[in-house]
A and B are shown apart, each in its own frame.
Chain A
Amino acid sequence: AQSVTQPDIHITVSEGASLELRCNYSYGATPYLFWYVQSPGQGLQLLLKYFSGDTLVQGIKGFEAEFKRSQSSFNLRKPSVHWSDAAEYFCAVGSGGSYIPTFGRGTSLIVHP
């Protein structure tokens, strides 16, 4: 069965600093990988996704993620964080045989001015 781990429950960064949110997955074949963002009291919005091709994926809001098969990771990065990036971030992994991705428990990003 597929699984996804987000090791960090909370991450605190200063505005303008770089950001990396970690995501590790467990699945034998090449998975579908997603990052979503959730602002308080809102639904989730898709930031970016990966299935095949270039392992560095660009998304919306200036985010990118890199798929590393050898490390079973799909970490989310942003070179310079803005206060508006404060939110909950979810990594999700799906398989070719299932429409249903598995979501991580989320990482809460706190941005200090």
Chain B
Amino acid sequence: AQKITQTQPGMFVQEKEAVTLDCTYDTSDPSYGLFWYKQPSSGEMIFLIYQGSYDQQNATEGRYSLNFQKARKSANLVISASQLGDSAMYFCAMREARSGGSYIPTFGRGTSLIVHP
């Protein structure tokens, strides 16, 4: 079963508008982390934001915020005031503990965001 589900293969938004990218996850581990990465057409993966399972407040980083709803197991990314440079693939990922103390991330399939002028 998929551990990270991103149901929106593609999203379109007008420049300066806000957009929400959906992400749901599945885990039985009480301690986990959720994060989002941005992948422009160049291919590099850029870390955007992180939310720990025990964090009481939603994470924010500049124009990025993570809408964490633990009971619903969702971790949606909100981008406010979209810019043309925000056009990219966006990946949601979850980190779970493995035996031996390592933390292994699982990535979703991604959402393609296109910002229109």
Mutual binders A and B: no
Residues on A close to B: CB < 8 A?
none
